[in-house]
Amino acid sequence: MTHIEKDVEEVLLSEKELSDILDRIAADIVRDYKDSPRKLLILSILKGSLIFTSDLMRRIPLPLELDFMKVSSYGSGTVSSGGPLKISLDLKRDDIADLDILIVEDIIDSGNTLSKLKKHLAERGAHSVKICTLLDKPSRREVELSADYCGAEIPDKFVIGYGLDYDEKYRNLPYVGVLSPKVYS
Ligand code: PRP
C-alpha cells in the first residue's frame, strides 16, 4: 500500500489553520449558547463530520449532548439533488421540543441536504436549529442556505481529508487537501 498523501495536490487547510478555525467557532458557539435554558444537542451528520465534531465539542465547555444522523438528498445520481431527504440513521428522541439543535457538518455544497434536514427538524418541533459547517462552497449553492457558523469558504475544488472522502478514502488525512485529478480522471 502507498501513502495517501501522494494523492494530495495542495494543502487547503493545515492542521494549525484547522485548530485556529476550531478555536474561533467554539468561542462563538459558547458565546451564543451559554445563557440558554434549554439542552444543547450537537447533531453530527455522518460520516464526514466525525473528526470536526470530535475536535469542536472538546472546545465547548458547556453541558451538551451528542447525537448522530446519516442523511442524503440524492436523486438518481451520486450528487445531492432536489429529491427527498433520505434518512439512513435517524434521531430517536422524544424531547426534541426542549432542544437547541446545532447541526455539525463537514461541508455545504448545493445546500440541498441541509436545507431539507433543517426543515425536517423544525417540523419535528425542535426549539431551534442552527448549522455549523467546517467548509462552505457558496459557488455551488442551488438553494438559499447559509451556515450560522462556518470555518472557511472554499473554491469549487475536490477536497479530502479531516473527515472528507473520495470513494470512502482519505478521511484520515489530518488536514484538508485538494485531491489530485489524476486519481479520478
Ligand atoms: C456530504 C456532506 C453533506 C452533503 C453536502 O455528505 O457531508 O452532508 O454531502 O452536499 P449538499 O450541500 O450538496 O447537499 P456525503 O453524502 O458525501 O456523505 P459522507 O459525509 O458520509 O461522506
User: Which residue has the least CA distance to atom 22 on ligand 1?
Assistant: 48
- On whether the CB atoms of residues 152 and 170 are closer than 8 A, the answer is no
Side chain identity at 70, as an amino acid letter? K
Cβ–ligand 1 contact at 136 (below 6 Å): no
Is 44 close to ligand 1, i.e. is its CB under 6 Å away? no
What residue has cell string 457538518? 105
C-alpha 79 to ligand 1 mean position (Å):
9
- Candidates 45, 37, 53, 30; CA nearest to 99 is 37
pLDDT digits (tens, 9 = 90+) for 145-159: 999 999 999 999 999
What are the residue ranges in the chain where pLDDT is below 50?
none
| Nearest in space to 140 (alpha carbons), one of 86, 80, 182 | 80
Distances from the Cα of 96 to the Cα of 42, 47, 49, 86, angstroms: 12, 22, 21, 20
Per-residue model confidence (pLDDT) at position 79? 64
Active site residue 109: yes
Give the pLDDT score at 80: 66
- Tell me the backbone φ, ψ of residue 48, rounded to 5 degrees: -60, -25
Tell me the C-alpha distance between 13 and 181, whole Å: 18
- For the beta sheet containing 86-89, the strands, ordered from the edge strand earlier in sequence to the opposite edge, are 86-89, 65-72, 39-45, 99-108, 128-136, 149-153
Q: Please state, in angstroms and rounded to a whole number, the distance separating the CA atoms of residues 59 and 126.
A: 24
Q: Rounded to an integer, what distance in angstroms lies between the CA atom of residue 61 and that of residue 176? A: 26
111 C-beta closer than 6 A to ligand 1 = yes
pTM across the whole model: 0.95
